[in-house]
Amino acid sequence: MQSAGLSQPIRIALLGLAAALQACAVSKTVQYEEIEIVTAQSEVPTYALLDVGIMLFDPGIPEGIEEQQKNFIFPDVRRAEARYIPFHLKNTLESTGYWGSVWALPEESDAVDLLVWGRVDQSDGYKAALRIGAWDATGREWLNKTYKTVVPAKAYAQHRDTNQDPYQNIYNEIANDLLVVREKMSASDLDRVRKVAQLRYAADLVPDAFATHLVKNPRGIYEIQRLPADDDPMLQRMDAVREREYMLVDTLNEYYAGLYYDLSVPYEDWRKMSREEALRYQEVKRAARTRQLLGVAAIIGAIAYESNGGSNSAVTEVAVIGGIEGLKSGFGLSAEAEIHKESLRELGESFDAEVEPIVVEVEGQTRRLSGSAEERYREWRRILREIYTSETGGALDQELPQPETSAGSFPNLD
């Protein structure tokens, strides 16, 4: 009778264990969604082709080391992604045929009609999340949302289309969303965006001549107060300078392209290995939890046995020892998971070492660009500026303005 009565608490413990194990063992089938990009099927009218600038992204690196490690965030990789992702988004937008010139920009510029900014919130080769904001020259918000994707193994297949990035779903969705906003705008709306961009650029360079042409309303939207004459010599000068800036940005983007292609192989290798390690880490963690739950359930069962008058010490001892071994086994697997975590860390630290210094030729001079990507960008700009200054006979400023590393004057993305 006693043994029959004692089975109830043990059954309760086992039922609890079964429920816990079921929760750990159930694996949800991951749906890998594929988002098709919308491309132009006929020639797009010139008035609809807005120029787009995509700023270098915020890498989204937490300040605390513990938080970085907890979320598998490796600063070297994130900084590389913050340069790589904008250029691939540029390529994606260009491929649609719906936009004018599209540039990757080291900082905010009034020279473009539409400015896109982003932040890397998650990226481990398996899952990615980007926070994206977009505003046109009038200050109107186009996008302010988070884009996410889960990456299948086939995205890293050797014989796949290399123009399709493993995170291509995100790029396609961003491009489609931008197009939706643009298609809702009339020809006069688009013309106003271009005119405001022209006047904002001119007002930034020569505020005394153009500051009164625009006013920002309480909603933060730029409105045109008056337009200069088409033959205004000052406006023509500003347009010429703006074209010169476009040429500078074109040259910068040639360098961005070189960096992008140099990064592409090591970055994809890192993401592929990171994906495998992240999945393995999750599997090991699940196995560790399962074994730990087994150990806890065994110990609970032994305690329940004794608390209900059980006198067979062998039963208690076996249950407790078995439970402890289950816990030890689970903790051992957790230690193995830490090895995979360390492997991820080493991959991240080695990433930047894969990127070799770049040698460029400018005006017959060979220059070696080294350091971080931002430093290389700035050196490239300094060289171009030096050449331009020598052409005009002006003095070269010793310091270039520091590029923005956050949303700057943009509205809050959070």
**Per-residue confidence at 160, pLDDT binned at 50, 70, 90?**
confident
Work out the average pLDDT over 41-54. 95
Residues 202, 70 share a domain: yes
DSSP code for 125: S
Tokens of 254: 């040639």
> How far, in Å, CA of 176 to CA of 49, rounded?
15
Which is it for strands 114-123 and 214-216: parallel, antiparallel or unpaired? unpaired
Most confidently modeled of 13-17, 231-235, 247-251, 326-330? Answer: 231-235
| Residues 40 and 49: beta-carbon distance below 8 Å | no
| Residues 78 and 120: beta-carbon distance below 8 Å | yes
379: part of which helix (H) or strand (E)? Answer: helix 373-392
Residues 384, 238 share a domain: no
Within-domain flag for 298 = no
Helix axes 233-307, 2-25, angle to 10 degrees: 170
Which is it for strands 141-150 and 365-369: parallel, antiparallel or unpaired? unpaired
Q: Is 391 helix (H, G, I), strand (E, B) or coil?
A: helix
Torsional class of 371: left (φ above 0), alpha (ψ -120 to 50), beta (otherwise): left
Within-domain flag for 119 = yes
Within-domain flag for 403 = no
CA 365, chain centre distance (Å): 36
From 244, 264, 284, give the residue that closes a domain. Answer: 264
Residues 373, 225 share a domain: no
In one-letter notation, the amino acid at residue 196 is: V
- The per-residue b/e assignment along 81-112, b for 16 or more CB within 10 angstroms, e otherwise, is bbbbbbbbbbbbbebbebbbbbbbbbbbbbbb
- Mean pLDDT over each residue of the chain, to the nearest integer: 74
Residues 224, 109 share a domain: yes
Work out the average pLDDT over 94-111. 91
**CA max distance for the chain:** 107
Number of structural domains found in the chain? 2
Q: Three-state secondary structure along 256-316?
A: HHHHHHHHHHHHHHHHHHHHHHHHHHHHHHHHHHHHHHHHHHHHHHHHHHHHCCCCCHHHH
Residues 366, 259 share a domain: no
Residues 144, 251 share a domain: yes
Supply φ then ψ for residue 357, to 5 degrees.
-60, 150
**Per-residue confidence at 303, pLDDT binned at 50, 70, 90?**
low
The strand pairing partners of 102, in sequence order, are 52
- In this structure, of 50-59, 287-296, 336-345, the range with the lowest mean pLDDT score is 336-345
Residue 275, CA distances (Å) to 34, 131, 271, 305, 343 in order: 18, 21, 6, 45, 12
From 243, 264, 285, give the residue that closes a domain. Answer: 264
Within-domain flag for 183 = yes
Residues 58, 163 share a domain: yes
Q: Is 67 helix (H, G, I), strand (E, B) or coil?
A: helix
pTM assigned to the model: 0.70
**DSSP helix, strand, coil percent of the chain (3-state; round to 5):** 55, 15, 30
Residues 221, 84 share a domain: yes
Tokens of 402: 């520091």
Within-domain flag for 343 = no
> How far, in Å, CA of 251 to CA of 209, rounded?
29
Within-domain flag for 36 = no
DSSP 325-353: HHHHHHHHHHHHHHHHHHHHHHHHHHHGG
Tokens 């920002």 correspond to: 216
**Per-residue confidence at 333, pLDDT binned at 50, 70, 90?**
very low
Residues 256, 380 share a domain: no
What is the extent of the structural domain holding 194? Answer: 47-264
Residues 364, 247 share a domain: no
Residue 246, CA distances (Å) to 52, 306, 404 in order: 12, 81, 19
Within-domain flag for 187 = yes
Sign of CA dihedral 49, 51, 57, 58: negative
**Per-residue confidence at 197, pLDDT binned at 50, 70, 90?**
very high
Residues 388, 257 share a domain: no
Within-domain flag for 346 = no
> How far, in Å, CA of 253 to CA of 247, rounded?
10
- pLDDT tens per residue across span 123-148: 988 899 999 999 999 999 999 999 99
The share of the chain scoring above pLDDT 70, in percent, equals: 60
The strand pairing partners of 359, in sequence order, are 368
From 218, 236, 264, give the residue that closes a domain. Answer: 264
The share of the chain scoring above pLDDT 90, in percent, equals: 32
Residue 372, CA distances (Å) to 79, 174, 259 in order: 9, 28, 11
Supply φ then ψ for residue 118, to 5 degrees.
-150, 165
